[in-house]
Amino acid sequence: MIPLKQRVVRAAIHVPVGVLTVMAGVIHWVFPIVLTWGFLAYEKNEDRNIKDEAFYDIFGWLIGVCATVIYFIWRIICKYISGHQFF
């Protein structure tokens, strides 16, 4: 098992990748699908070959994806429902 500090660092390193995956959807809807598929294929291959417990990396990526999606939903709610923008 990987030490806690290393797990946190590995997850934190992959958060920006998740953010970029969602942000790519602003450019074109296909980009997040391609980036997700590529990232997951890379992590699966890495875990199969070097057994580095890639789920810590995927967890960090998911944090980035979820945080960015929540941010975009928050912006939409603020802009269209309440008429205010908080950020």
**In the chain, how many domains are there?**
1
Q: How many helices (H) and strands (E) does the chain have?
A: 3, 0
Q: For residue 62, is it within any domain?
A: yes
Q: For residue 21, is it within any domain?
A: yes
Higher pLDDT, 79 or 9: 9
pTM of the model: 0.85
| Residue 57: per-residue pLDDT | 94
| Residue 34: per-residue pLDDT | 97
| Residue 79: per-residue pLDDT | 80
Question: Domain residues for 60?
Answer: 4-81
| CB neighbours of residue 20 within 10 Å | 17
Q: For residue 87, is it within any domain?
A: no
The single residue listed with the structure tokens 């994806």 is: 65
Handedness of CA 65, 66, 67, 72 (dihedral sign): positive
| Residue 52: per-residue pLDDT | 82
The per-residue pLDDT for range 42-64, each reduced to its tens digit, is 999 998 998 888 899 999 999 99
Q: Which two tokens stand for residue 77?
A: 């709610």
Q: For residue 75, is it within any domain?
A: yes
